[in-house]
């Protein structure tokens, strides 16, 4: 029987690529989304992957959503925490709401989803959790104190939860993408984007499928000895 995987923010961009790759690798995938019904419907029609709508930043909604997925598809054995938003601005311009929304969804969503899925994984003695961080959580980024803080928090969350899961066969890892050719990056002004690409040693933006391949490895049987790690997929832009 195929293992069930949930991918949050799984109908667009990097999340959609991850959902498709996991399906190709034999998982039964549920793609979570929060807002765009038309895009979600089109994604399901194109891929055959069911889409489930809830806000991962809402604790009760996340618990109810995971319960529904488990009832319809089976026990959740893989969780990919990919959902994220940006509310950019320097701290002098950033509102408390901008801060709160990004922390609640990007970092709080990881807690809410893990809270729903981790106990069952521990009980069944097998699980994979992959949290999508960011190069900007590692190196910081001007105008993103909220996003950088949330993504940096994901890396600490990953290491701590990995220690809880290790003896139960539950691995917890993170991937830190660099600048990937998605709608979010496409919204960056062209002159700014040129400067970003100039700082990437391989000389190009990454592709969503390249992140998806990394996630697929960490979710597979062969990655059982990898836990508490962060895989940086950034074209050499940030090394440490």
Structure tokens at 49: 């992957």
Tally of CB atoms within 10 A around 45: 9
Residues 52 and 54: their CA atoms lie apart, in Å, by: 7
- Please provide the DSSP assignment of 165-197 as one string: HGGGTEEEEEEEE-SBSSHHHHTS-HHHHHHHH
Phi, psi dihedrals of residue 25, rounded to the nearest 5°: -85, 10
Catalytic residue among 33, 52, 142, 147: 147
Residue with tokens 């600048």: 179
- Listed in sequence order, the residues at least 6 apart from 31 whose beta carbon sits closer than 8 Å to its beta carbon are 7, 10, 11, 15, 16, 19, 40, 43, 44, 49, 50, 51, 52
| 147 flagged as catalytic | yes
Catalytic residues: 147
């Amino acid at each position: 029987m195929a293992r069930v995987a949930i991918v949050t923010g799984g109908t667009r961009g990097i999340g959609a690529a991850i959902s498709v790759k996991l399906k190709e690798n034999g998982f039964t995938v549920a793609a979570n989304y929060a807002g765009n019904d038309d895009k979600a419907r089109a994604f399901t029609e194109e891929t055959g992957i069911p889409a489930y709508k809830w806000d991962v930043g809402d604790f009760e909604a996340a618990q109810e959503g995971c319960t529904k997925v488990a009832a319809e598809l089976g026990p959740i054995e893989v969780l990919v925490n990919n959902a994220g938003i940006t509310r950019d601005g320097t701290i002098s311009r950033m509102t408390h709401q901008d801060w709160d929304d990004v922390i609640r969804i990007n970092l709080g969503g990881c807690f809410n989803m893990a809270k729903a899925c981790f106990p069952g994984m521990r009980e069944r003695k097998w699980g994979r959790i992959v949290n999508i961080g960011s190069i900007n959580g590692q190196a910081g980024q001007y105008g993103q104190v909220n996003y950088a803080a949330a993504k940096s928090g994901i890396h600490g969350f990953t290491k701590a939860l990995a220690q809880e899961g290790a003896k139960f066969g539950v691995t917890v890892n993170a991937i830190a993408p660099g600048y990937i050719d998605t709608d979010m990056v496409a919204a960056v002004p062209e002159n700014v984007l040129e400067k970003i690409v100039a700082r990437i040693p391989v000389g190009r933006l990454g592709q969503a499928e390249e992140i998806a391949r990394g996630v697929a490895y960490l979710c597979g049987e062969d990655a059982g000895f990898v836990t508490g790690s962060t895989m940086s997929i950034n074209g050499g832009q940030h090394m440490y």
